A and B are shown apart, each in its own frame.
Chain A
Amino acid sequence: MTQLVEPQACAFENPVEPYLRTERMPHIWCPGCGIGTTVNCFVRAIEQCQIDLDKLSIVSGIGCTGRVAGYLRLDSFHTTHGRAIPFATGLKLANPELKVVVYSGDGDLIAIGGNHFIHAARRNVDLTVICVNNFNYAMTGGQAASTTPIDAVGTTAPYGVVEKPFNLPFLAESCGATYVARWTAFHVRQLTKAMIEAINKKGFSFVEVITPCPTLYERRNRLGSGLDRMQWFKDNSIIKNNTDTRECDIEFQKPIICGRFVDVERPSLLENIHAKLEQIRSGKRR
């Protein structure tokens, strides 16, 4: 018979634990959910980046992924629905020394907060945006979102979605993001690396992570358990760096293109502000 090991009897602390608010555990995420996996990757990424944790701030919106802000032992903001990016913009501009990471879900960042997403990318605000895409509004019970593939089922699309979902890498690139990558919760090493690159990137960097939502999206669409979904990600991901983001559309149960798609240089908003100020001060204003 299996003996349960008391937590205090463990010889080693989980290396991720110092970064988590363990007093808030157990977390609300379901068994098989991919959000915890992405948090694990993120913690390893910030550890490898050797960032001064006093100068790192996490901003989340509302939803299952919105809980990330509350579970990380860092300065964090759990903002109103969809508004993580404007909150983060204020944080970054008022204190440019801060490394600001927006960590939220597809429903929050791309649907109700979509306007802020495109404008922050356009301005090239110095932010890293990590979008956990589980293809539905999970916290409210699995409603169709602006990322749900055509023909997939949700509680607000009982006969299947008819609206074209967003292609997030293409959206981010076309609005001006300087770094764009997509991985699934299966690709933990690549995802960690992408997070490191995004955090170190100047300007608006964006990482999309495709995750399982076994309680809602997978169950309603009869796609199996969280583990089945990870196997599916493994078998159906096509790693293709530098793919033209126009080809990154996601179709229901069709292979998902992963990789680093965009890595370009562009002056950030702060640089542009300072350049303009300098120009005005020196009297060279046109």
Chain B
Amino acid sequence: MARALVTGNHAAGYALSVAGEANRQARGCAAGAYPITPQTEIIEYLRSFAFTKGYIVPVESEHSAMGVCIGASLAGARAMTASSANGLAYMNENVFAAGYYRLPIIMIAVNRTLGPPWNIWVDQGDSLSLRDAAWMQFYTESHQDLVDTILVAFRVAEDHRVLLPALVALDGFVVSHTQMVVDLPEQQLVDRYLPPCHVPHQVSYEHPVTVGGLTWPRETEHHRIEVQRAMEQVPQVLSEATEEFVKVFGRRPHTALSCEYTEDAEVVLIACNTMVRTLRNVVKERRAKGEKIGLIKEKLFRPFPRAELRAALKNVKKVGVLDRNHSPGSGGIFWQEVTTSLQGHSDVLVQDYLVGLGGGDVTPAIINDIIDDLYRRKQAAEPVWKEVVA
């Protein structure tokens, strides 16, 4: 293992590069690269890496970046890219295409608020806007979590039981531009962990195929059901990929849901990305005072781990969801998923809190305030806006 003090973007660029290089005995790797703050250093890293077999195309837009990934993946290359905010929005059409073509592309989404009004700070609304794109979605809390998740994501995405692209999200600036000590796995370990990429429907001379034909409603429905079935395979494949990760790298990455102090908890808070780290500290402090409180780190968002969440919340009385995103006309997107998961199974009180939108800090004071509010609450109300701390 090579321990290094690097930024989140550097860590992501490294993980993508060694994963791409690991496919050099097969069809190599490729990416489309287009700059956008705060992701740009990732594609700069990719463009600087001396791949044995691979090329990173400096394309003219995010839409083309995903287009290059789709073409490369169909030709058997390990394909990857990175973007943020309006870049993800502009890429949208091809993001759906990659999902529905069942191509194991990995994309890093450095979370940034969607404009207008223009804002460069973190908010998960950008990657969550792609929740229906037939992509797996992982949310990471730290530099190490990010590196590990990227490698696991390649393995799960390329598994023939799944064959779906994966998006790995991290907080813009909070992780992307800060430095932490990270274990950056060496190439030979990654070579062992990631077998050569083989897409069963990749283009070949022996078995010519046409990709992207017109289908009737019935065929389309079948296609959608197949995608759903593939999503349903993810928890099992992810669990196997995690065990293999432990064998190769000697470290256990976080899984779909991380339940902390939930066994005897009456109140549980759910969050993703770096909010989890602040939340963890607050929960530790309050448990030290004897409060029965726990937290759940929601890492896998698509497919949403409903069964695991229900099991984790079985004996819980109240749940607070921290949403750093907002779906206008509804509320927080994680809250929607949590309430849907519990529907018909539990009468637990679930309250949504919209926090840190547009990159406002989610401070321990805000979280303490939310916990106090949750204690007082007799019934759930509409999503509560917590005032942004600049």
Q: Do A and B come from one complex?
A: yes
State how many angstroms separate the Cβ of B140 from the closest Cβ of chain A. 23
**Given A156-B33, A156-B47, A143 contacting B60 (CB threshold 8 A):** no
CB B48 to nearest CB in A, in angstroms, measures 5
Contact, CB under 8 Å: A111 / B60:
yes
Query: Nearest Cβ distance between residue B106 and chain A, in whole angstroms?
Result: 19
Q: A78 interface residue, CB < 8 Å from B?
A: yes
A143 with B61: CB separation less than 8 A: no
In B71-123, the 8 Å CB interface with A consists of 86, 90, 115-116, 118
Question: Are A112 and B61 interface neighbours, CB within 8 A?
Answer: yes
Report the Cα distance A157→B90, complex, angstroms.
24
Judge whether B60 and A112 touch: CB under 8 Å: yes
Interface residue ranges of A76-91 to B (CB < 8 Å): 78, 80-82
Closest residue of chain B to A143, judged by CB? B35
Q: Which residues of A contact B48 (CB under 8 A)?
A: 158
A157 to B58 alpha-carbon distance, docked (Å): 8
Which one of A80, A140, A144 lies within 8 Å of B58 (CB-CB)? A144
The interface residues of chain A lying within 8 Å CB-to-CB of B90 are: 80-81, 112
A-side interface residues, number (CB < 8 Å) = 19
Which residue on chain A has the smallest CB distance to residue B47? A156
Can you name the residue of chain B whose Cβ is closest to the Cβ of A148?
A: B58
> At the interface, is chain B mostly helix, strand, loop or mixed?
loop
In the complex, are the beta carbons of B58 and A81 less than 8 A apart? no
Say whether B35 contacts A158, CB under 8 Å: no
Rounded to whole angstroms, the CA-CA distance of A166 and B42 in the bound complex is: 26
- For B115, what are the chain A residues with a Cβ–Cβ distance below 8 Å? 80
Are A140 and B47 interface neighbours, CB within 8 A? Answer: no
A156/B35 contact (C-beta < 8 A), A111-B61, A112-B60, A143-B44 known: yes
Inter-chain CA distance A158–B41, complex, in Å, is 13
Within 8 A of B (CB), among A9-61: none
The reply on A267 being an interface residue by CB < 8 A is no
Interface membership of B43, Cβ < 8 A: yes
Among residues of B, the one whose C-beta sits closest to the C-beta of A137 is B35
| Residues 13-47 of B contacting A (Cβ, < 8 Å) | 33-37, 40-41, 43-44, 47
**Cα-based distance from A81 to B60 in the complex (angstroms):** 11
Q: Is the CB of A81 within 8 A of B86?
A: yes
Q: Which residues of B contact A224 (CB under 8 A)?
A: none
Residue numbers in A under 8 Å from B43 (CB-CB): 143, 156
Give bound CA distance, A81 to B35, whole Å.
Answer: 12
Chain A residues with Cβ below 8 Å from B36 are 140
Q: Which chain A residues lie closer than 8 Å to B33 at the CB level?
A: 156
Q: Which residue of A lies closest to B89 (CB)?
A: A80
Bound: A146/B64 CA distance, A: 14
A25 to chain B, nearest CB (A): 18
Given known A-B contacts A111-B60, A155-B44, A156-B43, A140 and B118 have beta carbons under 8 A apart: no
- Residues of A near B40 (CB, < 8 A) are 140-141, 143, 155
Nearest-CB residue, chain A, relative to B50: A159
Interface residues of A in 83-112 (CB under 8 A from B): 111-112
- Whether B60 pairs with A114 at a CB distance below 8 angstroms is yes
Residue of A at shortest CB range from B43? A156
Q: What are 10 A-B contacts defined by CB distance under 8 Å? A: A81-B86, A112-B61, A114-B60, A139-B37, A141-B35, A143-B35, A144-B58, A156-B33, A156-B43, A157-B47
Can you name 9 extra interface pairs (CB under 8 A) apart from A80-B90, A80-B115, A155-B40? Answer: A80-B86, A137-B35, A139-B37, A141-B40, A141-B41, A143-B35, A144-B58, A156-B44, A157-B47
Q: Which are the 7 A-B pairs with shortest beta-carbon distances?
A: A140-B35, A112-B61, A111-B60, A156-B47, A143-B35, A155-B44, A140-B40
